Amino acid sequence: MIINRNRRRARISWVILLVGIFLIFGPLNMGMDGFSGGFALAGLGVFLVITGLVSVIIFGKVAGTQDKLMADTASQLAHWTYSREQWEAYAEYDHRENVKTKKMIFYIITGFAVFFGILFSAMDPEVAPVILSVMGGLIVLMGFVAYLSVTVTHSYNKKHPGEAIVSLNSAYLNGQFHAWNMLLSRLDKASLTKEEGMEILSLSYSAPARGGANFYEVRIPVPHGKEKEAEKVLHALKAHNKAKG
C-alpha cells in the first residue's frame, strides 16, 4: 500500500495553524499582560499562522495530486516495478549520486559561511567569536542535515522494493512524490541516459521558494525490457511540456 505522506504533512500543518491562532488570541484573552510575554506569544502565533496556512495549501495540493495519480490509472504514463537485483543496483547508484550532490551543496554553503564569517569578523573584531561560532554551527547543522538526508533515503530504498509511477504532471518513486503542476512550478528537463547498465529517466523540475526557486531532480530507473515504453514516456512528457510553453 502506498502511503500519501503529504496528506499527513497537511494535517500537521493544520495543527501548526491552529496553535498559531491560539497563541494570537489565547494568552491575551486569558489575562496575560502584553508586555509580560503576551505580545511576544502573539508575534510567534502570527508566524505560525502564516507558516501553517502556506503549508496547508501546498501539502494539500500535492496530496490531492498524489491521490489523483494513484486513483486514475488512465493518467499514468508508466507504472513500473523492479527485480531485486536491478533495484539494489539502482539504490547504490542513486546513493552515490545523492552523496555527490549533497557534498557539492555543502561545500558551497561552507564556502559562503567561511567567507562571510571572516568578513564580518574583520569588520567588528569584538563580536568575532560570536560570528565564527554561529557560522561554525551553521556548517555543522548543514552537514548533519545532508548526511541524514542521504542516509534515510538509502536505508528506505534498501528495505523496500522499488516502485515508480509517472504521469504528465507528477512522478512517484518508492515513497517520494514529485509534482510540477503547482503554481509557477514546471518540468524543466526530461531525458533518458544510460547509467551503470540501466536506463535512467531523469526529470528536473523547479518550484517557487522564498528568494527564487528550488530545483529538484528525480532519477527513475527503467525496468529491463521497458526501454521502448520509457521512450514513449519521454516523448509524452516533452510534448506536454512544449504545449504548455
Is 208 in the same domain as 129?
A: yes
Structural contact between residues 237 and 186, judged by C-beta atoms closer than 8 angstroms: no
| pLDDT in the model for residue 51 | 86
Is 81 in the same domain as 44?
A: no
Q: What is the pLDDT of residues 28-79, one digit of tens each?
A: 677 776 666 667 778 888 888 998 898 888 888 888 888 888 777 888 999 9
Is 50 in the same domain as 164?
A: no
**pLDDT confidence bin for 209, thresholds 50/70/90:** low
* Mean per-residue pLDDT over the chain, rounded: 86
| pLDDT in the model for residue 70 | 78
Is 59 in the same domain as 96?
A: no
Is 143 in the same domain as 179?
A: yes
* pTM of the full structure: 0.71
Sign for the CA dihedral angle at 155, 158, 160, 166 comes to positive
Is 187 in the same domain as 150?
A: yes
Q: Which of 71, 91, 113 is the last residue of a domain?
A: 71
Q: Which of 71, 89, 115 is the last residue of a domain?
A: 71
Is 146 in the same domain as 226?
A: yes
Is 47 in the same domain as 94?
A: no
Q: Containing domain of residue 158, as a range?
A: 75-244
Is 65 in the same domain as 89?
A: no
Q: Which of 51, 71, 91 is the last residue of a domain?
A: 71
Q: What is the pLDDT of residues 102-159, one digit of tens each?
A: 899 889 989 988 998 888 888 878 878 888 888 888 889 889 988 998 998 899 888 8
Is 156 in the same domain as 183?
A: yes
Structurally, how many domains does the chain consist of?
2
**pLDDT confidence bin for 91, thresholds 50/70/90:** very high
- What Rg, from alpha-carbon coordinates, does the chain have? 22
Range 17-21 average pLDDT: 91
- Residue 85: phi and psi, rounded to 5, are -65, -45
Range 152-172 average pLDDT: 90
Is 58 in the same domain as 80?
A: no
Is 94 in the same domain as 168?
A: yes
**pLDDT confidence bin for 219, thresholds 50/70/90:** very high
**pLDDT confidence bin for 92, thresholds 50/70/90:** very high
| pLDDT in the model for residue 223 | 95
Structural contact between residues 233 and 189, judged by C-beta atoms closer than 8 angstroms: no
